[in-house]
C-alpha cells in the first residue's frame, strides 16, 4: 500500500455553488487532507494552479462561463500532471468519454456521496504518489537495464561486471561456476586480479575498456580446464553506462567454446510446450519465456496477428508457480464494450437489465492463477481506466456492488497493435501501457523465422492427417518452394489454414502445388500489377492486401468468417481491414 501523507496533500475544489464547494472542502479537510483550497470560477482556479502545486483537483463540469472541461484542457496544456476528478449533475457516456480522453482520473455524478468523494480522492492521490515515486526510481532502475538485458540474452555465457576501480560488482551463476573456491557473498567487491587464474585471463580486456572507454571486440583466449584439457574462451568486453552516458564500469562476456561445441551437437530447442520452431529468434523467445515465466509479474506479448501470442501466454503459465491454478483467457474484441465490464469484473443480481443472478466474472475465476487479456489494445477508454485501477490495487468492485474483492492473479496481456503509437495518438492510457509492459515479449513474424516453415509444415501435416483420417505424409519440393516464397501476412494461423485446406484436398500421400490457394501460387504483387501498379513499396503492399481481401470476399460470396479463415487472419482483424480500406462488401458482390 502506498504511504500517503494526507496532511501534505494539497487539493483544489472548483465549483460555482458555494454550498457544494464548502461541503467538499469540509469532507476532505476532516479526512485529514490539506491544505484544501477552493475556487468559484475558471479564472480563479487557473490563478491558483499557476501559483501552487496541487496533488488533486476536483472540479464541477458545468459552471458559469468556462466549463470544467475547459479547466481540464488548460491544466493539462500547462503540463500539470496531478489527477483531476470531474463532477457533473448531468452524467452521460459522451461527457465521461470526453473527460477520460482529456486525461481525467475519474468523474462523479451529483449528488456526490461523502464515501464516493473520499474513496475517489484516496485512489487518485495514491496513483499520483506512486507515479512520483516511480519517477524518482526510474534513473536507478535504468542503471541496471543494460546489465539485465545482457543476462537475459546470454544466460549460458559467463558474465561479470567490474567497477572503475577494477573490483567485481556482479556476476551470473555461470561465472560463479568458474570460481569454485568462492561463493557469491565473499567474491563481490574483490579486485578482479585476486579472484583466481581464470579472472586474470580477462584482466587485460577490462583494463583496456577502463583506459579507453571503448569496446573490446570478440576474440579468443586459451586456458587450461580443471581436467587438464586445453580450452578456449570467446571473450568480449564493453563499457557499462547509464542513460546519461555516465561511465559505471565494464561488462565482460565469455563463453567456453569447447563446452559450446558439445551443446551445439544437440541442436537448438525445437519445441516449448505448444510453441514450435528451431530458429535463432525463437530460441530467444524460449529463453525469455523460461526466465520470465518464473517471475510473478505482468507481461505484455506483442506481435502481428497469427504469430502465436496465445501459445506464449499458455507457456508462461505452464512455466510459472501458478501452473496448477486456472489460466483464464479473455478475447477483448469478442465481447461487446457494454458487456466486457460485467464479463471481467462480474456483477450483482439486478445491477442491470438481464442480470438475473450474481456472476463471478473472469477475474475472480482466475484467482490464484493467470488472466490472459488478448487484443488489449482495442478496449475502450472507460475499460482502460477500470483495468488500470485493478492492476494498481489488485482489488475490484463487481458491477452493482460497493464491496471490494481482492484477488491474487498474474496478468498477461497481448496485442497486435502498436500501443506506443496509440498512446501518442491519445487512444490508449500511458499509465496503463507502462503497467502492462513491466516485461514484454515480442514475437517475430513467420517470414523472419528461418527454416521454421519446414518444421511447422510437418507439424500441421501430422495434425490434420490424423484429424481427417487421411494418409497425407509429406509435401512436394515444388509446393514447399512456393510456400517459402510467400510472405505469410497471416503468419502461423494463415499457414495452419493453408495446410488444413491442402490436407482436405490431397488425394494421395503428398501435397502438391495445385492443393495450395491461388494467392500462394501467384507471387505477391501479381494482382497489383494487373491494376497498373509496380510492386516494391508500402503503398503497393497495402493495395495488394486490399485486392486479396476483395478477391477472397468474392470467392466466399461475402462470408466474412470463411474469408478470414482463407486469409489466415482473425475475423475481428478482417473487419478492421474492411473499414481501413473502405471496402463496400455489397458492391463487391454485385
CATH for the stretch 290-444: 3.40.50.300
Q: What is the mean pLDDT of residues 403-415?
A: 92
Separation CA 72–CA 534 (nearest Å): 49
Classify strands 36-39 and 11-14 as parallel, antiparallel or unpaired: parallel
Q: CA-to-CA distance for 94 and 327, rounded, in angstroms?
A: 35
Q: Does domain 153-265 have CATH number 1.10.4080.10?
A: no
Please tell me the distance from the alpha carbon of residue 450 to that of residue 447, in angstroms, as a whole number. 7
Residue 2's contacts (CB-CB under 8 Å, 6 or more residues apart) are 126, 129, 130, 133
**Is pLDDT above 60 for 301?**
yes
According to the model, what pLDDT value does residue 260 have?
42
Report DSSP letters for 495-515, one per residue.
Answer: HHHHHHHHHHH--SSEE-GGG
pLDDT band at 140 (very low <50, low <70, confident <90, very high): low
Domain pair 290-444 / 448-589, same fold: no
Across 186-202, average pLDDT: 85
Contacts of 589 (CB under 8 A, 6+ apart): 553, 554, 557, 558
The answer to whether residue 250 scores a pLDDT higher than 50 is: yes
Half-sphere exposure of 35 (CA within 13 A, CB side): 5
Average pLDDT over residues 384-390: 91
Quick one: average pLDDT of 222-235?
75
321 band by pLDDT with thresholds 50, 70 and 90: very high
- CA dist., res. 497 & res. 460, Å (int): 9
Q: What residues contact residue 8 under an 8 Å CB cut-off, 6+ apart? A: none
Domains of the chain, by residue range, sit at 6-137, 153-265, 290-444, 448-589
Residue 541: pLDDT over 50:
no
Run of H or E including 219 = strand 216-224
**Residue 539 pLDDT grade (very low, low, confident, very high; cuts 50, 70, 90):** very low
- C-alpha cell of residue 557: 460470396
Q: How far is the C-alpha of 446 from the C-alpha of 153, rounded, in Å? A: 21
pLDDT beyond 50 at 1: no
Q: What is the rounded CA–CA span in Å between residue 580 and residue 578?
A: 6
Average pLDDT of the chain is: 83
pLDDT of 149: 56
E-strand spans in 274-351?
Answer: 275-276, 299-302, 327-331
- Grid-cell match 524518482, residue found: 136
Confidence of residue 327 (pLDDT cuts 50, 70, 90): very high
CB neighbour burial string for 327-344, b if at least 16 within 10 angstroms, e if fewer? bbbbebbebeeeebbbbb
Coil vs helix vs strand at 12: strand
> pLDDT, tens digit, for every residue of 96-133?
677 778 888 888 888 889 999 999 999 989 888 888 77
Q: What is the pLDDT of residues 331-360, one digit of tens each?
A: 988 887 778 888 888 888 877 777 778 888
| Closest of 69, 127, 63 to residue 99, by C-alpha | 69
pLDDT band at 263 (very low <50, low <70, confident <90, very high): very low
Q: Where are the beta strands (DSSP E) in 353-509?
A: 370-374, 395-396, 405-406, 410-415, 439-442, 474-475
- Report CA Rg, the chain: 30
Handedness of CA 426, 427, 431, 433 (dihedral sign): negative
> Comparing 102-116, 144-158, 311-325, which segment has the lowest mean pLDDT?
144-158
pLDDT in tens, 505-530: 998 888 998 899 888 876 543 333 33
pLDDT of residue 157: 78
C-alpha cell at 95: 461527457
Give tens-digit pLDDT for 16-25: 889 998 999 9
Interval 429-443 mean pLDDT: 90
Does 3.40.50.300 match the CATH number of domain 6-137? no
Question: What number is the average pLDDT over the span 164-192?
Answer: 80
Predicted confidence (pLDDT) at residue 468 exceeds the cutoff of 80: yes
- Determine the average pLDDT of the residues in 56-83: 88
When pLDDT is averaged across residues 265-274 and rounded to a whole number, the result is 75
At 531 the pLDDT is: 30
E strands in 404-446: 405-406, 410-415, 439-442
Please state whether beta strands 395-396 and 11-14 pair in parallel, antiparallel, or not at all (unpaired).
unpaired
What DSSP character marks residue 403?
S
Per-residue pLDDT band at 165 (split at 50, 70, 90): very high
Q: Which of 251-260, 314-323, 358-367 has the lowest mean pLDDT?
A: 251-260
For residue 303, pLDDT over 70 is answered with yes
Minimum mean pLDDT range among 59-68, 464-473, 569-578: 569-578
Mean pLDDT for the stretch of residues 539-558: 71
DSSP β-bridge partners for residue 85: 58, 106
Inform me whether the pLDDT recorded for 496 exceeds 60. yes
> Average pLDDT in the 394-408 region?
87
Provide the pLDDT for residue 503.
93
Distances in Å between the Cα of 528 and the Cα atoms of 192, 519, 524, 532 are 63, 12, 9, 7
Residue 5's pLDDT is: 62
Range name among 251-265, 338-352, 415-429 with the lowest pLDDT average: 251-265
Mean of pLDDT values over 281-299: 90
Q: Is the pLDDT of residue 370 over 90?
A: yes
Q: Categorize the per-residue pLDDT at 184 as very low, low, confident or very high, splitting at 50, 70 and 90.
A: low
Q: For the residues 148-158, what does the mean pLDDT come to?
A: 57
Q: Is 268 a residue whose pLDDT tops 90? A: no
Distance CA 516, CA 329 (A): 33
Residue located via cell numbers 497469427: 306
What pLDDT, on the 0 to 100 scale, is given for residue 152?
Answer: 44
Query: Tell me, what's the pLDDT at 133?
Result: 76
- Classify domain 448-589 at the CATH class level: mainly alpha
Q: What pLDDT, on a 0 to 100 scale, did the predictor assign at position 527? A: 35
Amino acid at each position: 500500500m502506498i504511504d500517503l501523507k494526507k496532511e501534505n496533500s494539497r487539493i483544489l475544489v472548483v465549483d460555482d455553488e458555494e454550498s457544494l464547494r464548502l461541503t467538499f472542502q469540509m469532507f476532505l479537510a476532516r479526512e485529514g487532507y490539506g491544505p484544501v483550497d477552493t475556487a468559484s470560477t475558471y479564472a480563479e482556479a487557473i490563478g491558483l494552479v499557476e501559483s501552487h502545486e496541487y496533488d488533486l483537483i476536483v472540479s464541477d463540469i458545468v459552471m458559469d462561463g468556462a466549463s470544467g472541461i475547459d479547466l481540464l484542457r488548460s491544466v493539462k496544456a500547462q503540463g500539470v500532471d496531478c489527477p483531476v476528478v470531474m463532477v457533473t449533475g448531468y452524467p452521460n457516456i459522451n461527457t465521461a468519454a470526453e473527460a477520460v480522453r482529456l486525461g481525467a482520473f475519474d468523474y462523479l455524478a451529483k449528488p456526490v456521496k461523502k464515501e464516493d468523494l473520499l474513496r475517489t480522492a484516496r485512489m487518485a492521490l495514491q496513483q499520483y504518489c506512486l507515479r512520483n515515486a516511480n519517477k524518482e526510481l526510474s534513473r536507478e532502475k535504468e542503471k541496471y537495464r543494460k546489465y539485465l538485458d545482457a543476462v537475459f540474452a546470454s544466460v549460458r555465457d559467463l558474465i561479470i561486471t567490474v567497477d572503475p576501480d577494477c573490483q567485481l560488482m556482479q556476476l551470473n551463476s555461470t561465472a560463479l561456476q568458474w570460481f569454485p573456491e568462492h561463493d557469491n557473498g565473499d567474491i563481490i567487491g574483490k579486485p578482479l586480479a585476486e579472484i583466481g587464474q581464470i579472472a586474470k585471463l580477462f584482466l587485460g580486456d577490462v583494463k583496456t575498456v577502463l583506459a579507453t572507454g571503448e569496446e573490446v571486440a570478440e576474440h579468443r583466449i586459451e586456458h587450461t580446464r580443471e581436467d587438464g584439457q586445453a580450452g578456449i574462451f570467446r571473450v568480449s568486453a564493453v563499457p557499462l553506462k547509464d542513460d546519461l552516458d555516465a561511465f559505471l564500469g565494464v561488462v565482460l562476456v565469455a563463453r567456453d567454446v569447447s563446452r559450446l561445441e558439445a551443446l551445439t551437437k544437440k541442436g537448438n530447442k525445437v519445441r516449448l510446450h505448444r510453441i514450435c520452431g528451431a530458429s535463432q529468434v525463437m530460441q530467444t523467445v524460449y529463453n525469455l519465456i523460461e526466465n520470465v515465466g518464473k517471475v510473478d509479474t505482468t507481461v505484455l506479448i506483442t506481435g502481428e496477428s497469427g504469430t502465436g501470442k496465445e501459445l506464449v501466454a499458455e507457456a508462461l503459465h505452464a512455466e510459472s508457480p501458478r501452473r496448477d491454478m486456472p489460466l483464464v483467457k479473455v478475447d477483448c474484441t469478442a465481447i461487446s464494450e457494454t458487456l466486457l465490464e460485467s464479463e471481467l469484473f462480474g456483477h450483482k443480481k439486478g445491477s442491470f437489465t438481464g442480470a438475473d443472478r450474481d456472476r463471478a466474472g473472469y477475474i475472480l475465476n482466475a484467482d490464484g492463477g493467470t488472466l490472459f487479456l488478448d487484443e488489449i489494445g482495442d478496449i475502450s477508454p472507460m475499460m482502460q481506466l477500470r483495468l488500470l485501477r485493478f492492476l494498481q490495487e489488485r482489488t475490484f468492485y463487481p458491477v452493482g456492488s460497493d464491496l471490494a474483492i481482492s484477488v491474487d492473479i498474474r496478468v498477461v496481456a497481448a496485442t497486435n497493435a502498436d500501443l506506443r503509437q496509440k498512446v501518442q495518438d491519445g487512444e490508449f492510457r500511458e499509465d496503463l501501457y507502462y503497467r502492462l509492459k513491466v516485461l514484454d515479449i515480442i514475437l517475430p513474424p513467420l517470414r523472419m523465422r528461418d527454416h521454421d516453415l519446414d518444421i511447422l509444415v510437418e507439424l500441421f501435416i501430422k495434425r490434420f492427417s490424423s484429424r481427417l483420417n487421411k494418409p497425407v505424409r509429406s509435401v512436394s519440393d515444388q509446393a514447399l518452394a512456393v510456400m517459402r516464397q510467400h510472405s505469410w501476412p497471416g503468419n502461423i494461423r494463415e499457414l495452419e489454414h493453408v495446410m488444413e485446406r491442402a490436407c482436405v484436398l490431397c488425394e494421395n500421400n503428398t501435397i502438391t502445388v495445385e492443393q495450395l490457394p491461388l494467392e500462394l501460387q501467384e507471387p505477391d504483387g501479381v494482382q497489383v500489377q494487373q491494376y497498373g501498379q509496380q510492386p516494391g513499396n508500402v503503398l503497393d503492399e497495402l493495395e495488394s492486401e486490399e485486392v486479396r481481401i476483395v478477391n477472397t470476399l468474392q470467392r466466399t460470396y461475402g462470408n466474412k468468417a470463411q474469408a478470414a479463415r482463407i486469409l489466415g487472419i482473425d475475423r475481428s482483424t478482417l473487419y478492421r481491414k474492411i473499414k481501413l480500406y473502405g471496402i463496400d462488401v455489397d458492391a463487391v458482390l454485385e
